[in-house]
Structure 1
Amino acid sequence: MATAAALKQRNQKATQQKDSSRENSLDSHLYDPKKVHSAFSGTKTVLGAWARLLAFIAMLVLITYRLHYTLPTAVVEGTNPTTGQAQFSEENVRKIVRHLSSDIGYRVVGTEQELEAKQYLINRLETLKEEARIEGLRREQDLAPLPNFDMWVQVGDGSHRFDFMSKAHFLAGVNLQQFSLEHQDNAIPSYSLPFLRNNNRFSLTYKAYTHWKFVVMKMYTNMTNIIVRLSCGPECDQNSILLNSHYDTTLGSPGAVDDGLGVGVMMEVLRVMSRRPAPKKNSIIFLFNGGEESLQDASHSFITSHELKDNVRAVVNLEACGTAGPEILFQANSRPMIDAYGTVPYPHGTVLANDLFATGLILSDTDFRQFVDHGNLTGLDMAVYKNSYLYHTHLDLDEYMESGLPQHMGENTLALSTYLTEKADLVNLEKTDDVVFFDFFGFFFVTYSWSMALLLHASIGGLFLFSIATGASRPTVRSTISMFLTFVAALFTPIISVILLEALGKPMQWFSHEWLAVLHFAPMAFVGMLTIQYLFHDKKASTGANELSTYSALQVFFTVLLGLVTYARRAGSYVFAIYSLGITIGLFFNQKRTAIAKAEGFEIQRVDYASYFVGTLIPTAYFSFCTFSLLDLFVPLTGRIGADAPVDHIVAILIGFIAFVFSPPVLAFAHRFGAAVLRKIIVFLLIGQLVFLLISTISLTPYNELHPKRVFVQHLRNLTSGASQLYVAHADPGPFYEPYVTQLETLFSTESVFRSPVNNPGDWNAIYPFNQFLESHVIDTAPYIKSQTANKTIANSQAPLTDFIHSAPRLIAENVSYDPETGLRRLTVLCTHPDYIWTVAGFDAHLESWSLTSSEPFPHPSHYVIRHVGGHMSDGWRVDLAYRASGPDDKLMVELTAMETEGFGKDTERELIGSGDIGVMRSVLKTRPPWVALTYFGTTVSRFHL
């Protein structure tokens, strides 16, 4: 009897061991001696199981990549050969872009090239108007007349206040000097600001999170707008849609895509619409504005002073910060306009971009701000954003603009303009951010209200609770805690890779291609995530139990996140709804498969393999689509956010976030084969990451010709001190001194001196407020100039080279008075600057009033910066001031910086007649390495006591 019992016990133990062995070798959670009941029953090894799941994820990535970047075929002909009707032609757009960017070149406000571009556009529009008139005569027998074609050229003066970084949150723990600062509530904080007059500046230390604004007072003269209106007559002129782009360029760029593309698209839309029947409901105004890069002066001029401004009901703005891929809708502020965008043939936009841009983290802005702030308009802001490595550089050329991009933006803009003029109700549009919108892989556009979002999110929350109640979801406290810690590990473990790169002296190794950032940081993110899962793997429970509890914890994590973001009323919460719903569907699928298996008599061992594919499909496919946009936006952006920015850390954290969100079921699947296999995966990833980082530091460089480092070069002549110096700065923390500054030191046979922006805040005033991001290496150019010039007087003179500068910018004081009773000193400051542009005046004062109409002076002593920009041949300006003074001789010290006009894209040698500045910039340009993108200009600076 005992022997029989022992034998039976041994047989049972052997059977259990056999079943356990088979359970460890099969990937299906269902095992039967006769058959395996699973859609993926052929997967019999660890490697095979992982290979099939990762291959599925890779397939999703490849499909979404194709969907994300596919552009329409470029159309060459402007007339449809079948119908004989006008159609949008990419080739017509490129002709305009090529002329603006290649034939004319750098169209900086105030230069001859800006004037040339203005005249070219006027001539082109007059030609279109004549062609439309002829077409109308040819079709005069038709019942549907062509639209009225009205045209204006506005040249205006004005002023406005530009608050830079007004939305950004940051920690200010350093001295902020020579900035116009304003606290969020327009009051001085309880921490008093030390204020000194004349040669001193503000010294501010404010160690707390808060809002700060870097305020620029803008003045502009002779600012040009070219305006065309298409309408059916007075009955549709009362309500107009505004279509805007700018034809000027920034310093150092020919502006093919930014914003020659927008101008070309508008010109082609105008051509097509002017040859179609007149709009039935609303007119459309085409605004070709001549001053966006100068801080949005021309759009301000139009929306505050043009005769058509009161008829504009909404705006569509066309912009660019890249040269490839589809344009994206990244700002929208009313439901009817968002619905209108849903009519375009190639929708690409998400409220996530809207939310992100609203935070101020993207250091960029568009004319859309002026229309919203000063015109109280609603509308849409659309921009090209992929490959922004070339944005604002000399490489923004037609040849680098991707084929199909103009067609994509053009057909979308034409469809949008057609809908808005034919069908849209533009009356009483209200601003709102309570709208959820996103495109579904570029096929169609999804839009719904915030109330609908709340209902959907509540339903998803109900499904979550139902899944727990029915046992489909089985989170444990252990697995839930592990998931939140896994998220933290995903964000911060990649910083280990950053530390290794910094130790090897190789920052920004990932910069040359967006996908390199994934290889540099994602494996380490997975090491961190899987290490947390390994530490929390419950060795007392089966692998199946670990899988299910982890899968369920993912559902808890994203559902909690959905609730928090919904509570914060962020429309972008729809993404977390997709994740919560996708994982919930996977869990219900697993439960269903388990129930079927039990009904058929199968033994349950693991989470159903197919449920991972079901749970992965929706979230991974959508987030893959979004990930391309995130990488396209953020990786190139790190090349222009400042030399002190911790860009390696920023990108590492971003990649960690992407790694966590990319395919959550992988975290549960990692438990499938037990802790030992999980440990091996961690070791494999860690070794792979270290090997790749080592190879990267040996074989890769951050920059190349099409992914350049941004370098700023300024030849500054200080008329007060007599110094003639070359200032060299860069816009990211990547390699700079050794590869480039040392080259310039050799060229000029002079060692450079480092100057920080904190102690020398006025060094780059010509491009204020962007100077806050620039730290300089300064080279004395006087010895080089004297050795190179053929002018013996200059070569042999002991006087400062600045003594030879003729017609330098000047400030004079007029109508000076002092009232001893009020303590106010009044004066008119008059500036003359022939042959100079973009003057910047900085001074300290407790102003009581001024003649600027943009805003009132601050109610406390402040440092003011007034930037003036004017159209071609605008060589002066004036402003009236009244400030508190200790007496009639308490003069105002004003530092004036002015920029030269030579050299903007015409290869003109940068020199002022008789100044001795012979060949300095030309020498810099000739020796520019191919991996450097230069923004260069010459300036003078001087101080005046008025």
Structure 2
Amino acid sequence: MTNIIVRLSCGPECDQNAILLNAHYDTTLGSPGAADDALGVGIQMELIRVLSQQPALKRNSLIFLFNGGEESLQDASHSFITNHELKDTIKAVINLEGCGTAGPEILFQANSRPMIDAYKKVPYPHGTVIANDVFATGIILSDTDFRQFVDHGNLTGLDMAVYSNSYLYHTHLDLNQFMEHGLPQHMGENTLALVKHLGDEVDLTGKLEKTSEVVYFDVLGFFFVVYSLSTAIKLHLAIGVLGVIVLFVGASRPSIRSVVSIFLSFVAAMTAPNLVAFLLVSAGKSMVWFTHEWLPLAIFGPTSTAAMFLVQYLFHDKKASTAANEVSTFSGIQFFFSIAMGLATYTGLAGSYVVALYALCYSLALLYNQQRILALIPPSTLRKEQTQGLNLVSAIDFSTYLVASIIPSTYFFHTAYSFLDIMVPLTGRTGVDAPVDNIMALVSGICIFCSCPPILAYAHRYGLRVLKRIIAGLLIVQVFILLFATTYLQPFDKMHPKRIFAQHLRNTTSGETHVYVAHADAGPIYDNYIRGLETLFQTKAVLKSGADDHGDWNAIYPFSRFLDSYNLDTTPYIRSQTKNETIAASTNPLTDLIQDAPKLIAENVVYSPETGLRRLTVLCTHPEYILTVIDFDAQLTSWSLSSEIPSQDHFHYVIRNAGGYRTDGWRLDLEYRATGPDDKLKIEIISMETEGFDWRVEKERELVGSGEIGVMRKLVRATPDFIALTYFSTVASAYEL
């Protein structure tokens, strides 16, 4: 691991208070890494050029970290923030990331009020505390260097990333040519404004206090709103009081029937689309919505809408007029969001500002509606009915719907667009067991309900007969959409590819040589693709679940937990293709031909009968291998790693060493509970070669003496363009030390 560090400072008086900017210059296997993270690296280099030609920042220095190991579980940033001499001068961090190729970038993690306030200075703000809340749950299966700075450096800061069109993330298509024009300029201008404000204006004496009690969001990208959670509680209380006033003056007329109907409509909107998801999966058409972020709304939307209207149909009060049903339902919507606001606020959810916006606008709309209706009543009639104490709000004026929905619906569309931008491509890398069709059905249902809830009240305006026809029409539309989707739509194409992982694994212990072909989503892997590989390698593919043998894919642990793979024995292919007649006719394992395979040996082995502990030093040599991963089961009591042992019990360990070209070995001291001196540690090691992957496939390392066979070259050329292939070669061995 190599870190490159640049410091810009006004002098010794600024050196003790620094802002860290971080981007990583490594990329993952299979990807050129234009957006992830050459974009961040380029922006930092440009910031250095611009700032170094201007007067020095007045208060705080800037430290630019170009780290060389984010993709290997943030090894380089961890090393910097735990070991480098500058670490104690850093008071805040800005992390620049990318998982998409289109803008704008989003502020998706923030943990201090001063840093969030500083973000208000950027010219193109885009971020919401909802993204912070969602990312904190772990639903988004991703991680950044920001975690290392927070967990191991106790820092506060901002994590910003490009996220739109993340279909190309970690694939061979992450290229400059697919990056949206103007994206680097956009992100660069935001970052420049941010660091100039922090460097000139913000007092960083002492580390900034961490907090999650901040509400922040952008308003359609025009400006940024920030206030404390305590302020939010006061605002929400005021909105709640307004809701009581609306009820007290008679502008709102909810009933138990209408409130229950809105709640059930919300539930129905989320659950009913799962029937469509079930039909798609049953028909073998999972993920047909994957190629466009809006497509899940089209596929699941009609059923979701029909289910909401069906609830309203069932709860329509036949004894009351259509106008009375309309008023009652509209009032029920306002009551529903007021209750939702109260519950979200009570739980301390910073994202409760969204439901508060709905509650506020619907309360104001009901007051507006009351005045609008009263204005239409002749004065003589108005005085007479007021004398008799009658409730005069007997209908919903059409303009009331605009007053109620224009602000919350516009903001929701803005937020939902960003959320779908993240969620739909993400389903292509969440693992084979994730119920992605059900997840997107649920997400689509929420979007349908929240896009314009007043439509539930409007549905009562024309009576049950029209409502029944609308429901029937929506279901008919859904049938046609399903027929079209299952007949014509394909889940993947060249620019929205399916992710396939392939490794040629040679096991020196068992003598086996196999190609493993795995996928990381619930979509079809395509039988004709696997059948073609069976023909190519002259063998039968065997399906292996990730739960069957985690060790097969340890080279890319922990992502290996999400994979199912097909296993193809390459021995028949190699023997039939080699021009070496001795190898072709031999029955000896082909792995005997491997030279310089990684090896493990044990030194300093000591067993203590008094304590029952066995100590040893594991030495590994791995010439020309870039990753070595060992796994074993033991009850460890100590080791030489800097982190604490994760368990005092018997535990399964997977330890990865990120080596590279400059290191050919490593050592690890272990101590574990043993039953005796002969209770040896059973360790498996899997190592990734420096040749034989991506652009190096033409340099694929062949078995010595077997000739030019090119197992991986053949596999790469047999892969269609709608598949994004990540491929590499590995060698595995087992030892007792």
**TM norm structure 1:** 0.76
CA, structure 1 residues 616+857, in 2 after alignment: closer, same or farther (shift >3 Å)? Answer: closer
Q: Deviations over 1:774-806 (max 9, x none)?
A: 111100111111222233332232211101000
Equivalent residue in structure 2 for 1:462, among 241, 244, 252: 241
The equivalent of 2:468 in structure 1 is 679
Q: Counterpart in 1 of 2:389?
A: none
The equivalent position to 1:607 in structure 2, one of 380, 392, 396, is: 396
CA contact (8 A) 2:618 2:670 kept: yes
| Map of 1:710 onto structure 2 | 499
Q: Is the contact made by 2:105 and 2:161 (CA closer than 8 Å) also made in structure 1? A: yes
Of residues 544, 548, 552 in structure 1, which corresponds to 2:331?
552
Give the aligned CA root-mean-square deviation in angstroms: 1.3
2:156 is aligned with 1:367: no
Secondary structure class of the residue paired with 1:632: helix
2-side partners of 1:601 and 1:832: how far apart?
98
- Mapping of residues 369-448 of structure 1, within 5 Å: 369-428=147-206, 429-448=208-227
Question: Aligned in 2, Cα 1:915/1:808: closer, same or farther, shift over 3 Å?
Answer: farther
The answer as to whether partners of 1:910 and 1:918 remain within 8 angstroms in 2 is no
C-alpha separation between the residues in 1 aligned to 2:451 and 2:241? 24
Kindly report which structure 2 residues correspond to 1:544-623, keeping only aligned pairs within 5 A, or say none: 544-599=323-378, 606-623=395-412
Hey, what's the Cα distance between the residues in 1 that align with 2:281 and 2:649? 44
Letter of the 2:288 counterpart: Q
Report the Cα distance in structure 2 between the residues aligned to 1:381 and 1:498, rounded to whole angstroms.
34
Distance 1:757 1:911 in 2: 27
Q: What is the distance in 1 between the residues matched to 2:698 and 2:259?
A: 66
Which residue does 1:288 correspond to in 2?
Answer: 66
Against the structure 1 CA distance between its residues 915 and 272, is the aligned structure 2 distance closer, same or farther, given a 3 Å change threshold? farther
SS in 2 for 1:468: helix
User: Which of the residues 686, 699, 711 maps onto 1:920?
Assistant: 711
Q: How far 1:757 moved relative to its partner?
A: 1.8
Aligned length: 724
Percent of paired sites with the same residue: 61
Per-residue CA deviation, residues 225-260 of structure 1 (Å, 9 max, x unaligned), is 000000110001110000000000011111000001
The 1-side partners of 2:576 and 2:280 are apart by 43
1:399-798 equivalent positions in 2, closer than 5 A: 399-428=177-206, 429-599=208-378, 606-798=395-587
Counterpart CA distance in 1 for 2:491 and 2:27 is 27
Q: What do the CA deviations read for 1:450-480 (whole angstroms, capped 9, x no partner)?
A: 1110110000001111100011111000001
Quick one: which amino acid aligns to residue 304 of structure 1?
A: T
Following TM superposition, by how much is the alpha carbon of 1:605 offset from its aligned partner in structure 2, in angstroms?
6.0
Q: Is the 8 A contact 2:127 2:216 kept in 1?
A: yes
- For residues 872 and 456 of structure 1, the distance between their equivalents in structure 2, rounded to whole angstroms, comes to 58
3-state SS of 1:908 partner? helix
Alignment deviations for residues 824-856 of structure 1 (CA, whole Å, 9 cap, x no partner): 111100000001121111111111111111113
Q: Residue 483 of structure 1 contacts residue 553 of structure 1 at CA under 8 Å; is this kept in 2?
A: yes
Q: 1:328 aligns with which of 106, 112, 115?
A: 106
Instruction: Compute the displacement of 1:927 (Å).
Output: 1.3
Cα deviation per residue 1:260-303 (whole Å; 9 max; x = unaligned)? 10000111111100100011110001100000000000001110
Shift of the alpha carbon at 1:418?
Answer: 0.6
| SS in structure 2 at match of 1:362 | coil
Aligned residues of 2:503 and 2:516 also touching (Cα < 8 A): yes
Looking at structure 2, the residues matched to 602 and 638 of structure 1 have their Cα atoms a distance apart, in angstroms, of 60
Q: SS of 1:905's equivalent?
A: helix
Question: Alignment partner of 1:345: what SS?
Answer: coil
The answer to whether the Cα contact below 8 Å between 1:801 and 1:915 also exists between their aligned partners in 2 is: no
Which of 679, 686, 695 in structure 2 is aligned with 1:897?
686
Name which one, 1 or 2, has greater alpha-carbon Rg: 1
Task: Write the distance in 1 (CA, Å) between the matches of 2:380 and 2:726.
Answer: 74
AA aligned to 1:875 is D
Q: Would you say the 8 A contact 1:909–1:919 is kept in 2?
A: no
Mapped to 2, the partners of 1:688 and 1:508 lie a distance apart of: 20
Q: Write the distance in 1 (CA, Å) between the matches of 2:418 and 2:179.
A: 18
1:220 corresponding residue in structure 2: none
Between the aligned partners of 2:498 and 2:694, the Cα distance in structure 1 is 20
Secondary structure at 1:224 match in 2: coil
Task: Give the 3 Å change call, closer, same or farther, for CA 677–601 of structure 1 in structure 2.
Answer: farther
- The correspondence for 1:340, drawn from 118, 126, 131, is 118
Could you say which residue in structure 1 is the equivalent of 2:28? 250
Aligned to 1:910: 700
Q: How far does residue 506 in structure 1 lie from its aligned partner after superposition?
A: 1.1
DSSP-derived class of the 1:589 partner: helix
The one-letter amino acid paired with 1:532 is V
Q: Are the aligned partners of 2:122 and 2:193 in contact in 1 as well (CA < 8 Å)?
A: yes
The letter of the residue matching 2:67 is N
1:308 to 61, 79, 86: 86
Q: Alpha-carbon deviation of 1:602?
A: 8.3
Counterpart position of 1:945: 736
1:259–1:484: structure 2 CA closer, same or farther, 3 Å change rule?
A: same
Q: Which of 594, 601, 624 does residue 805 from structure 1 map onto? A: 594
Change (3 A) 1:856 1:749: closer
Q: Partner amino acid for 2:12?
A: P
Matched, 1:833 2:622: yes
For each residue in 1:606-664, what CA deviation from the matched residue of structure 2 results, as whole angstroms up to 9, or x when unmatched? Answer: 31010001101011000000011111000110000111111000000100011011111
Tell me how far 1:599 sits from its aligned partner.
4.4
Q: Deviations over 1:907-946 (max 9, x none)?
A: 4332245174831111111111010001111111110111
Deviations 1:473-502 (A, max 9, x none): 110000011111111100100012112222
Which shifted more, 377-386 or 933-942? 933-942
Given that 1:227 and 1:285 are in contact with CA atoms closer than 8 Å, whether structure 2 keeps it comes out as yes
Counterpart Cα distance in 2 of 1:393 and 1:633: 16
The answer for the alignment partner of 2:387 in structure 1 is none
Matched residue type, 2:232: A
Maintained 8 Å contact 2:125/2:224 = yes
What is the identity, as a one-letter code, of the residue corresponding to 2:225? V
SS of aligned partner of 1:533 = helix
**How far apart, in 2, do the equivalents of 1:843 and 1:882 lie?**
13
**Distance (whole Å) between structure 2 residues aligned to residue 638 and residue 269 of structure 1:** 35
Contact 2:614–2:672 (Cα < 8 Å) also in 1? yes
Does the CA contact (< 8 Å) of 1:909 and 1:921 recur in 2? no
Question: Partner residue of 1:883?
Answer: 672
2:485 maps to a residue whose letter is S
Q: Superposition pairs for residues 854-865 of structure 1, below 5 Å?
A: 854-856=643-645, 858-865=647-654
Between 491-500 and 344-353, report the one with greater CA deviation: 491-500
Query: In the aligned structure 1, how far is the partner of 2:84 from the partner of 2:261?
Result: 61
Pairing of 1:107-186 with structure 2 (within 5 A) = none
Equivalent in the alignment of 1:207: none
SS at match of 2:377: helix
Distance 1:602 1:790 in 2: 104
Q: Is residue 280–residue 422 contact of structure 1 (8 Å, CA) maintained in 2? A: yes
2:627/2:660 contact within 8 Å kept = no
AA at the equivalent of 2:309: L
